[in-house]
Amino acid sequence: MFGVDEAGRGPVLGSMFAAAVVIEDVDDLPSGIGDSKTLSPERREAFAEQFREDDTIEIGLAEIPTNRIDDPETDMNTLTVEAHAEAILQVAEDDAQGIVDACDTSESRFARRVTEEIAYPVEITAEHGADETHAIVGAASIVAKVERDAHVAELAEKHGEVGSGYPSDPKTRAFLRDYVESHGELPDCARASWQTSKDALSAREQSALDQF
Write down the pLDDT at residue 72.
Answer: 96
Q: Which domains, ranges and CATH numbers included, belong to the chain?
A: 2-156 (3.30.420.10), 157-206 (1.10.10.460)
Write down the pLDDT at residue 35.
Answer: 66
Average pLDDT (154-168) is 97
Write down the pLDDT at residue 208.
Answer: 52
Q: Is 63 annotated as a binding residue?
A: no
Residue 132's Cβ-count burial label (10 Å; 0-12, 13-18, 19+) is middle
Q: Is 5 annotated as a binding residue?
A: yes
Write down the pLDDT at residue 207.
Answer: 59
Write down the pLDDT at residue 212.
Answer: 45
Question: CA 181 to CA 113: how far, in whole Å?
Answer: 41
Write down the pLDDT at residue 199.
Answer: 93
Average pLDDT (135-155) is 97
State percent of the chain over pLDDT 70. Answer: 96
Indicate whether 123 pLDDT > 90. Answer: yes
The answer to whether the pTM exceeds 0.85 is yes
Average pLDDT (200-211) is 69
| Average confidence score pLDDT of the chain | 94
At residue 79, φ and ψ (nearest 5 deg) are: -65, -35
Q: Is 27 annotated as a binding residue?
A: no
Indicate whether 211 pLDDT > 70. Answer: no
Write down the pLDDT at residue 96.
Answer: 95
Residue 44's Cβ-count burial label (10 Å; 0-12, 13-18, 19+) is buried
Average pLDDT (138-159) is 97
Query: Is the torsion defined by CA of 126, 129, 134, 135 positive or negative?
Result: positive
Tens digits of residue pLDDT in 15-51 = 999 999 999 999 999 888 866 778 899 999 999 999 9
